[in-house]
Amino acid sequence: METQNTNNLLEKFNNWMKESISIKLASIGLLVLILLVPSSWIQSLMEERQERALSVTDEVADKWARAQTITGPVLVIPFTKREKIDKGKDGIEIREWTERAFFLPEKFSSNGKVKPEKLHRGIFDVAVYESNIAISALFKLPDFEKLGVSEMDVHWKESSFLLGLSDLRGISSNPTILVGGAELTGEPTNNLGLSKPTQNSENGNRGVANERGILVKLPWLVKDDFKGDVKVNFQLRGSSQLFFAPVGKTTQVSLEGPWPNPSFDGMFLPTKRDITESGFKAQWNILHYNRPFSQQWIEGDQNVSDANFGVKFLIPVDQYQKSIRTAKYGQLIILLTFIALFMVEIMKKIWIHPFQYILIGSALIIYYTLLISVSEHIGYNLAYALSSLATVTLISLYSLTFLETRKLTALLSTLLVFFYSFIFVIIQLQDYSLLLGSIGLFLIISIVMYFSKNVKWYNE
């Protein structure tokens, strides 16, 4: 008799555990919390793959040539600086040292023809380019009086032109340098003094600080030997981007190349641009009023890399960014799916075991590994469609084992398709994602409220 009573109590307890809405809600909430752990792992995996893609770009750039920024030509003329030091009883001591004065051209123009191409490493693509650059600059006679320097202290014999380049390995032919119509030769240098160090432009900064470049010694002996007409032609290789510094009092730069999706970046955007499926043409016109530096200065006083501009040839890797954004909605998909199953339970009296919730939640999480792995090969949009189709099909087939009718299975499948479609639209419409997401969630909550209005929550 006691055994029978005990069995009855256990049976009542089991029925209560199975039918209690409060217990079911608590168990669903616990399962959602548990599934947050693998969901965070998936996001970490996506970020790791994104970092791997960026590291491959750096590896290829190290072997080809890095992003290039062209600065110059800039005229450099040393001069003697003097300082009087009063030593009291010992009299006046005059201290002398040499400094450099920098002068920018009155007019600067450059025409560049760029030939970008894709290099492959594994499943990753890296954009590199070869270019033909023609530079023309016109200088006026330097005015040392504005710098407070006497003409007697100017070292005209040590005058030179500097042309800054971010990566000298990118020079693929000997530059042709004409000064006043006479051809001169240059030599590499790593002490230009044109720009203060900045972070690498591949991380999103404007241009690259130039401490490397070409130094052209000038055959001037006196002030009357000055010639301000400079022309430079050379071939330059690089990766990801090609930038210029607006060194001219008036600066004109024209670039063109067979790249259908260029990204114009830096301090200035092109005044004219023409982008077609076969390539692009762009032109910049910049005045000295637009720049944050003057026409002449003494070494250490200016940083000409603050106003760089140009074009980027980055290959879109938005599948990583979009996949990461999609994964952030993973918890929402799991929660909405569990709510849908829970509503089926309480309205149709079909009891779903917590283990079945776990399997469905696991399928919803594995979806994101499918998304990132497939998108690396075929792109985000198609990968999203295939991964969503596979996940919805798997969950629909599995739900046939515990849902009573095919109608309920079809309803669950429709809800999943709606959820994934809703997230896809949010990802695509970046400017309106917050607005659309807020409205969508509000409607979903409204629908849940409507269908749950007749539920007797305390009828346990």
pLDDT digits (tens, 9 = 90+) for 280-323: 999 999 998 888 888 888 887 677 877 899 999 877 666 777 88
Q: Are residues 308 and 326 in the same domain?
A: no
In a domain, 36, yes or no: yes
Average pLDDT over residues 126-147: 92
Task: Report, in angstroms and rounded to the nearest whole number, the Rg of the chain calculated over CA atoms.
Answer: 34
In a domain, 3, yes or no: no
> Do residues 174 and 183 touch, judged by C-beta distance below 8 A?
no
Task: State the residue range of the domain holding 306.
Answer: 67-316
Q: Are residues 75 and 101 in the same domain?
A: yes
In a domain, 177, yes or no: yes
Q: Are residues 309 and 403 in the same domain?
A: no
Q: Are residues 90 and 168 in the same domain?
A: yes
> Do residues 50 and 320 touch, judged by C-beta distance below 8 A?
yes
Domain boundary among 316, 350, 377: 316
Query: What total number of domains does the chain contain?
Result: 2
Q: Are residues 98 and 245 in the same domain?
A: yes
Q: Are residues 42 and 71 in the same domain?
A: no
In a domain, 7, yes or no: no
Q: Which residue has the tokens 């894709």?
A: 118
3-state secondary structure of 76: strand
The stretches of 134-250 forming alpha helices (DSSP H) are none
What pTM was computed for the model? 0.73
> Do residues 452 and 25 touch, judged by C-beta distance below 8 A?
no
Q: Are residues 82 and 216 in the same domain?
A: yes
Residue 49, both tokens? 């793959």
Average pLDDT over residues 241-256: 94
Cα separation, 288 vs 182, whole angstroms? 28
Residue type, 13: F
In a domain, 328, yes or no: yes
- Going by pLDDT thresholds of 50, 70 and 90, the confidence category of residue 199 is very low
Q: Is the pLDDT of residue 207 over 50?
A: no
- pLDDT at position 4: 55
In a domain, 228, yes or no: yes
* Angle in degrees, CA 18, 24, 25, rounded to 5: 165
Q: Are residues 78 and 45 in the same domain?
A: no
Beta carbons within 10 angstroms of residue 41's beta carbon: 13
In a domain, 89, yes or no: yes
In a domain, 458, yes or no: no
Q: Are residues 163 and 211 in the same domain?
A: yes
Domain boundary among 288, 316, 344: 316
Domain boundary among 298, 316, 334: 316
The stretches of 303-379 forming alpha helices (DSSP H) are 318-327, 330-348, 354-378
Q: Are residues 162 and 297 in the same domain?
A: yes
Q: Is the pLDDT of residue 324 over 90?
A: no
Cα separation, 144 vs 149, whole angstroms? 5
Residue 10, both tokens? 């256990």
- Mean pLDDT of the residues in the chain: 83
Q: Are residues 298 and 378 in the same domain?
A: no
413-445 pLDDT, tens digit per residue, is 998 998 889 888 888 776 677 788 788 888 888
21-47 pLDDT, tens digit per residue, is 666 767 777 777 777 777 778 778 777
Q: Are residues 378 and 241 in the same domain?
A: no
For residue 68, how many C-alpha atoms fall within 13 Å in the half-sphere facing its CB? 29
